[in-house]
Chain A
Amino acid sequence: MSWLVYVPVLLPALLWPLARVATRAGRPERAARALAAGALVTAVSGAVCLVLVAATLADDLPAVERYARLSVTQGQPLPEPVPDPIAFVAAAVLVWIAARIAVRVRRRRAVAGELHAAGRPEGGLVVADWDSPRAVAVPPGRGRRGHVLVTSGLLRLLDSDERAAVLAHERAHLERRHHRTDALAALATAVNPLLRPVESAVGLLVERSADEDAARSVADRRLVAQTIAKVALAAHGPATSLGFDGSSTVRRVEALVRPARLRRGGPTVSGSAAVSMLSLLVAAAAVVEFVELLRAWLPAV
Chain B
Amino acid sequence: MSPERRAWGSLESDVMTVLWAAAGPLSPAQVQQALGRDLAYNTVQTILTRLQEKGLVRRRVSLAGGRGYEYFPAEDQASAAARRMRAVLDGPGDRHAVLRQFTAGLEPADAELLRALLRDADPA
Map CB proximity to B onto A207-220 as digits: 1 under 8 Å, 0 otherwise. 10010000000000
Q: Does residue A182 face the partner (Cβ distance < 8 Å to B)? A: yes
- Partner of B88 from A111, A122, A229 at Cβ < 8 Å: A111
Q: Is there contact, CB below 8 Å, between A222 and B86? A: no
CB within 8 Å for A167 and B17 given contacts A118-B85, A129-B75, A134-B101: yes
Q: Does residue A237 face the partner (Cβ distance < 8 Å to B)? A: yes
Q: Is there contact, CB below 8 Å, between B81 and A118? A: yes
Q: Smallest CB-CB separation from A157: which chain B residue?
A: B21
Q: Does residue A260 face the partner (Cβ distance < 8 Å to B)? A: yes
Map CB proximity to A onto B68-99 as digits: 1 under 8 Å, 0 otherwise. 00000101011111101111111001111011
Q: Does residue A18 face the partner (Cβ distance < 8 Å to B)? A: no
Q: Does residue B64 face the partner (Cβ distance < 8 Å to A)? A: no
| Least distance between A147 CB and chain B CB atoms (Å) | 8
> Which residues of chain A come closer than 8 Å to B121, judged between CB atoms?
222, 225, 257-258
Q: Which 9 A/B pairs are nearest by Cβ-Cβ distance?
A: A241-B105, A123-B12, A123-B13, A123-B10, A257-B121, A125-B13, A129-B78, A245-B104, A118-B84
- Partner of A171 from B5, B17, B73 at Cβ < 8 Å: B5
Q: Which residues of chain A have a CB within 8 Å of any CB of chain B? A: 107-108, 110-111, 114-115, 117-120, 122-130, 134-137, 148-152, 154-156, 158, 160, 163, 166-171, 173-175, 178-179, 182, 186, 206-207, 210, 221-222, 225-226, 228-229, 231-233, 235-243, 245-247, 249-250, 252-254, 257-261
Q: Smallest CB-CB separation from A109: which chain B residue?
A: B98
> Which residues of chain A come closer than 8 Å to B107, judged between CB atoms?
241, 243, 246-247
> Which residues of chain A come closer than 8 Å to B56, judged between CB atoms?
122
Q: Is there contact, CB below 8 Å, between A207 and B106? A: no
For the complex with contacts A127-B20, A186-B98, 12 further pairs of A-B residues with Cβ separation under 8 Å are A115-B88, A117-B84, A127-B17, A134-B101, A137-B100, A149-B85, A179-B100, A231-B102, A241-B105, A250-B110, A253-B118, A260-B122
> Which residues of chain B come closer than 8 Å to A169, judged between CB atoms?
102
- Complex Cα distance, B119 from A225, in Å, reads 11
Q: Is there contact, CB below 8 Å, between A171 and B102? A: no
Q: Is there contact, CB below 8 Å, between A156 and B21? A: yes
> Which residues of chain B come closer than 8 Å to A210, judged between CB atoms?
100
> Which residues of chain A come closer than 8 Å to B21, judged between CB atoms?
155-156, 158, 160, 163
- Complex Cα distance, B106 from A239, in Å, reads 10
